[in-house]
Amino acid sequence: MLSAFILGFFLDWIEITLIVLPLIAPVISSLGVDIVWFTVMFAVCLQTSFITPPVGFALFYMKGVAPKGIAITQVYKGVIPFVLLQLIAVWVVFQWPRIVTWLPEVAYD
């Protein structure tokens, strides 16, 4: 997860998904980790990394649609509460995997 988080600083989600997931999914599956939970954790980590400086792509998208007087440092400062909320979400999903796996089990069992 940490490597996906760090890669999200510099690469787009398509590249990370196409390069990293095929390499680690078989290992994760063979370790007995629920693949649905892992996929959600992976997606939430990527989403968090896209709003995290130094190269968070979403920050540059926000800067592009912001009014002319808004500096990129203001965007960086403005995103801090959202990064904290995302990190809390990562922690919650990590601590209580049933939050993620309950609905698919009900729907597909």
pTM over 0.75: yes
User: Residue 85: pLDDT band by 50, 70, 90 thresholds?
Assistant: very high
pLDDT above 90: residue 50: no
User: Residue 3: pLDDT band by 50, 70, 90 thresholds?
Assistant: confident
What tokens appear for 61 in the block? 């998208």
Closest by CA to 45, choosing from 103, 98, 3, is 3
Average pLDDT for 35-49: 88
